Amino acid sequence: MAKIRLGILGGGEDSLIGILHRVAANMFDQFEIIGGVFDIQHEKSLKFGEKLKLDPARVYKDLDDLIAKEKSLPQVERLQAVSVLTPNFLHFPMAKKLLENGFNVICEKPLTTTYEEAKILNEIQQKSNSVFAVTYTYTGYPMIRQMKTMIENGDIGKIQKVDIQYYQGWINPLIHDKDKRSATWRLDPEKSGISCCIGDIGTHAFNMAEYVTGMKVENILADLNYLYEDNPMDIDGTVLLRFGGNVKGVLRASQIATGEENNFTVQVYGDKGGLKWQQENPNNLVLLKEDRPLQVLKPGHGYLSEFSLEGTKLPPGHPEGIFDSMGNIYYGVAMAINENEKYKGAYPKLNDGLRGMNFIEKTVASHKNGNVWIKIED
């Protein structure tokens, strides 16, 4: 089967997220990057396209130029999917135009800057045949998929406690300098939306809580930290979670956890055992039982689920990382585009992004209304 023709918006020369998506797209030989708009300055975009050895005619001035010229091409030549890697405030207008013109979309998170925008995208997508993925990257790790499968199979029994932590320290050097914090786009509501920490990494944690447990968060109570009066964006927060069936949890996210790099930890406890996973040590899934020693499950072994093994590219003992995780998501999207989707949860869908935006807005509202419980809509 021919490779899926892929375009990219953003993710140019110095973009880490651009490197991540390009490597992931090429990982399973399912996609071929054909063109895109890599920078707001066309000359820079052309130069980057030359570096990628792309046809300069497929390196466009802007999204409107891309859509018009791609749609003028025969169906067998035009782009089939487009990845949106731009700052948050551009996700909605770009994804909306792409959906309305029949393209499949792979969009960075958060999906949009408001819940209302997310609902509009959801309505458009439901009326189309387009595949839409939101890149909650960590769902692609083989041992997270193993965790999800074990919980589904009842290996730890009935869930009774969920504990999700995502700690970074990268904003700490900026937040204490007024000029630096005012110049950072993630702390600018016009570009980032109403939330920084929860919108950037808290939404990963929320998605993960629902992904691995298979349960939906029904109510939340949030306490956020802005640190300075003139800082309009949260940079730290704790959110209490209530699922159905008396299951409760806690979500802790921070970008001022000094010295932390990317400490994302997922812990789920049932009445028969517990599972623990850390992003900075992603090959180890810890299984806890009261009647036996701690067990460490590792990728690539025959005792793991088919879902986990499909996303494992290396023999046991060889580390797999975030590029592999994103690659598994791209592979899931490719299978969906080719109408060969095999596993539930193979890639995060638009509805996951919709719930993420609902969570972000309700978290901020809970904090600003005096740390009150708020319901998360279905």
35 and 60 Cβ atoms separated by less than 8 Å: yes
360 and 194 Cβ atoms separated by less than 8 Å: yes
Q: What is the pLDDT of residue 133?
A: 98
pTM of the model: 0.94
Of 314 and 354, the structure prediction assigns the larger pLDDT to 354
Give the model's confidence band at 14: pLDDT under 50 very low, under 70 low, under 90 confident, else very high.
confident
What domains lie within the chain, and their CATH numbers? Answer: 4-138 (3.40.50.720), 141-316+349-368 (3.30.360.10)
Q: What is the pLDDT of residue 192?
A: 84
Q: How many helices (H) and strands (E) does the chain have?
A: 14, 14
pLDDT surpasses 80 at 1:
no
**CA 136 centroid distance within chain:** 2
What's the rounded mean pLDDT across residues 91-100?
98
Q: What is the pLDDT of residue 306?
A: 95
Of 318 and 301, the structure prediction assigns the larger pLDDT to 301
80 and 103 Cβ atoms separated by less than 8 Å: yes
Q: Which helix (H) or strand (E) holds 239?
A: strand 236-242
Q: What is the pLDDT of residue 223?
A: 98
Give the model's confidence band at 203: pLDDT under 50 very low, under 70 low, under 90 confident, else very high.
very high
pLDDT surpasses 90 at 97:
yes
pLDDT surpasses 80 at 378:
no
The candidate with the shortest Cα–Cα distance to 212, out of 130, 132, 156, is 156
pLDDT surpasses 80 at 209:
yes
What's the rounded mean pLDDT across residues 167-171?
97
160, two tokens: 């009774």
Angle in degrees, CA 61, 64, 66, rounded to 5: 65
Give the model's confidence band at 122: pLDDT under 50 very low, under 70 low, under 90 confident, else very high.
very high
What's the rounded mean pLDDT across residues 217-243?
96
Give the model's confidence band at 319: pLDDT under 50 very low, under 70 low, under 90 confident, else very high.
confident
pLDDT in tens, 234-293: 999 999 999 999 999 999 999 999 999 999 999 999 999 999 999 999 999 999 999 999
Distance CA 353, CA 112 (A): 8
Answer whether the bond into residue 315 is a cis peptide, omega within 30°.
Answer: no
Give the model's confidence band at 193: pLDDT under 50 very low, under 70 low, under 90 confident, else very high.
confident
Give the model's confidence band at 295: pLDDT under 50 very low, under 70 low, under 90 confident, else very high.
very high
Kind of pairing, strands 159-167 and 132-134? unpaired
Q: What is the pLDDT of residue 184?
A: 87
* Helix axes 350-368 and 203-213, enclosed angle (nearest 10): 120
What's the rounded mean pLDDT across residues 318-325?
90
pLDDT surpasses 90 at 186:
no
